[in-house]
Amino acid sequence: MANQPDYSSYTESVVAAIGSKASTRVKKALPILIRHLHAAVVESGLTTSEWLEACDLVIEAGKISSDKRNEMVLVSDVLGVETLVDMLEHARFADNAGETTQSAILGPFYRKGVPSQPNGTSIVRMKEPGAPFVHLFGTVTGSDGKPLSGAVVDVWHDAPDGFYDSQSPEKPQYHCRGRFETDQQGRYSLICLKPTPYPIPFDSSAGKLLTMMDRHPMRPAHIHFYVEATGHKTLVTQVFDKESKYLDDDAVFAVKDKLIIDFVPAKAPLSEGGEFDEEIKFEVEYNIMLASDKEGIDSSSQQV
């Protein structure tokens, strides 16, 4: 922009206003954010009306957000921010932890309080005609390769219509969600459905951003994991169907090569402790390796 005034002294006065009692993390992170935000405003020549529209977009996202849908997370997803944060977080641990399981974004539809259920049971809580059942199983280990007994494996995915239970009042509570605890050998096992590609919600702020950027809202078929074990870094990740569309242009940029999996024809018969009332068409063995809390950054130092 021609003859653009130098606003750097103004920006530095805003940075200098951060008080002495602010946390160490705030003193480090907020000046960076302020400088980059101010630079973006100046470089783009942002107008007052555009800034107010941006504020309204954030307000709208806040109003629609609930414990069943986090629109602000969705906004950050379509801008690629959550995936970038995830990439940085994983890299901090991977430097020391080796080949632990790749992480991915949490997304807007994670739900706390899903009840635990026995290994080998189904998370499918209503009839879904024609939807193929999947035996999903694996072992959770530490980075030393030793199995982790008592690890909690939280799993969720969309229903065949492309919606999560939290998006559809007609679906039973926790349909296609389940929480499992690994056995003495670190094993978990469950029955789910083969997920399908779906559009992220585009009826609010995230959709407006996608429209402005001339982008589609589609995500490839995937299954979410949230895995916790004492003494280990919590893993949030997703696995993606190798045969799915949109692997190359996921609307939220979450696909990583190491998270792409095969749904292979199920072996028969299935044995040991499962309540397999439906015919299982596919199986997925997905083994998970967690980083020790000692192998990455001191998370307490990262608090804002």
The domain limits of the chain are: 8-66, 81-295
Candidates 267, 265, 272, 280; CA nearest to 193 is: 280
pTM assigned to the model? 0.84
Candidates 156, 133, 138; CA nearest to 148 is: 138
Three-class SS state of 241: strand
Confidence at residue 182, expressed as pLDDT on a 0 to 100 scale: 98
Confidence at residue 304, expressed as pLDDT on a 0 to 100 scale: 44
CA atoms within 13 A on the CB side of 93: 24
User: pLDDT class for 90, splitting at 50, 70, 90?
Assistant: confident
Alpha carbon 85 to its chain's center? 11
Rounded to a whole number of angstroms, the distance between the first and last alpha carbons of the chain is: 35
CATH class label, 81-295: mainly beta
Q: Give φ, ψ of 27 to 5 degrees.
A: -65, -30
Cβ count within 10 A of residue 185: 10
Orientation of helix 71-78 relative to helix 48-64, angle to 10°: 130
223 φψ region: left (φ > 0), alpha (ψ -120 to 50), beta (else): beta
pLDDT digits (tens, 9 = 90+) for 112-138: 999 999 999 999 999 999 999 999 999
Mean pLDDT over the full length of the chain? 90
pLDDT score of 264 more than 60? yes
Mean pLDDT confidence for 66-83: 91
pLDDT score of 303 more than 60? no
The continuous run of DSSP H or E covering 53 comes out as helix 48-64
